[in-house]
Structure 1
């Protein structure tokens, strides 16, 4: 008995496509590859089919479709046959190629016509027959399609503020996200930018001072230097969207509130070229509570004031301009003076002017109110009685010379400086010679006595003065004392005799 064994060998034959795009644009080059596990392809013949139509035969397992067309959309197969054995031949799986016309980008320029420097232009790129989210977009200038002037992964609109240099021919193209296939490049649009700038807008605010009070009326005014028929747009804060639009160039906040405190700016628009102005400068609007308290200060700010001093009272408050206010000055409940100046000067102040002082301000231009300051207390001291009508002098220094009379060279002298009615520890002391009160011959932070051994050169007129430690106020300078030093020295022999006589006297005792 003869047994015939038939072995059926099944070969998995795979047909693949490169690039493996789900959708193929016309004009692309597509490669079909017929893969199978045999180590050598030299024994095989490859047949290529579109549906049931044989397209090609070769010894190569690749079949290239160059510049593929829409009508080549179909199912494709490969079929292989062994050259050495007619018994071996196999069909591959089918692959489907879907070919569509390559979409062309379309570029739109908004607005059209000649542009002014500073205007905003938008270049919008659309891919015909496709949604915007499928694509990445690139824009090109003057035919250079290798270097985009701008690219976006999301937006199909490219907006920018133009200058004269931006004039030129612009195109765009899309690149599909899913497979990086590109659309055809768009036709060119021409952008012409004039060297002339957009009209300038200027924003002012009335009232000019800052801050304004809650409840006050504030008017913003937008002025554009040229052209007419403007519509005015008003912007606030960080928003790029206008909060208001009007045919008139003023925007009024009738009753300012906390929420109105922000930054404002404006711009003009119209129906003719130029269709917009430049954005204006920005102004900051500060709003404060209706009530505020002026601050009254004293200069110099000494804790104790000597009679005869000049004292300046300053009434300070947040408004930058004092021209709208009247200032009233009071000692206790008595009005002393009123003026447009926020300074009040007390010259040669007297002891009986010691008191509490206030300032009171009133706005000339509005009924917003009037305000009292804090009180400051002035304490004036002097050597005369309180409430006397005369001006009381500041403390006067007194200088004493010890010993008095003519001195001999080599003798020791002491100049003692006292401030009448004050303790010595309150003061620093300085001594002067021959009327030169700018260059002391000696100064001391502690001692009120100045002692030194004299020579004939020390002869002269001496004075002294004190400077109070607490506030650096000075006493009046003392009357002068005269120091006379003889050129004659004390006789050394006489001194020796005195010493000898003293010794003998002590021994005899």
Structure 2
């Protein structure tokens, strides 16, 4: 029993003008049945990965197709339909001739042996096609991969090319790409140069993409010097004497150049004592020269803020009795009352040879000055690292900058870690550290404040940043960032408990000198860091008794 009527010995024939077609073009397929007329036609398409579907483009004996695949056809006529034998299959492939290329990343013009780069095989117009890739090396070796990216360690110069082969037989393999010619250079060497206290690192031969790393030798150990004070990544201002060298690095993972030849720096280091002033205190400056030898004279300077440089700098004014230098490497300043910065340098020989200037070092006063003052909002010493803080300068100046000394030895300015808007520095996040902040104008330093940054899961003591005047009241608090304190709060002065209540605040209604000291709080199983509460004496003004000439005693 037959399921369909098949015309005896009638067979369809499928012909194509070409079996390959470029992306976006079409090819005409013609189906015919010999011996008699009146035939209509059905068309079928499949791939090696898909089942056969009927093409409903019409019943004509020719169609135009732009898709690759395996095609066949058959004829039918009459009612009920009589079908011819199906035609042989014809495979149409889509070609990507001359549309494949090799690109390089990073796109450095100079590549050195040992660096890692990634080559990518790109097929233009091949979106949506699943490809396999074949690579050809300078030695004419070939290998296949499913990844379009090939990461190599630069070693052999020459031509690199690729071609793509689709996993679907609807597409034909591309031609080989035009070769990308790579020439790899011998590993470069860094060079270091010095101008005053600034060291500059460069890579020879010059090329792009480098970061620069500086090192100092100390006791036969090589220490990394961070670029904490620089005009660009390739420059650093040094504050210590010693033997320095540098090297460049780029890429991921980082490829390093050879180290530069070393350069030796003689530079003094200034130390001040004390850092924090009591009003009218004497300050001792000490200038230390590495590789100490005889014959040095020491010169002492006051640091004057120079606001014309955004990165922050100072000019230097000789202190009294220092114009000819001092034989002693220490210098005492009597009656210092305000925040101030100092530098030193040494010299000897004829003609006189001078070392570099030392980095500025500071003595700080917490007392508010009538000519310049710094206020903090929120007004407290301890802050969470996620807190935003505003530091505002006030006084007789139209231009200010806010400075920070990150203990133990790093000076920076608001432009490095905040946003300076007129006389206020806005800080989005406080650094997790202990730092001193103050304001500078062209002629004045403000009071200084100590601010500490702490992580959000810590317990903080809330205490004012400025000293409290005798007789005034002060409120101390205890705070967690994300939850209320549910248990008792314990307040301590100099490690002695002074209050144990459920309140999160402690009020001292009239402060006296005996209240000065270190304070901390405890609650909910946590203990805050301690902060110093300074107390200043209340000014006593003399009472003047005025007597009338006619008065009698």
Q: TM-score, normalised by structure 1?
A: 0.31
Q: Which has the higher helix share?
A: 1
Q: Which has the higher strand share?
A: 2
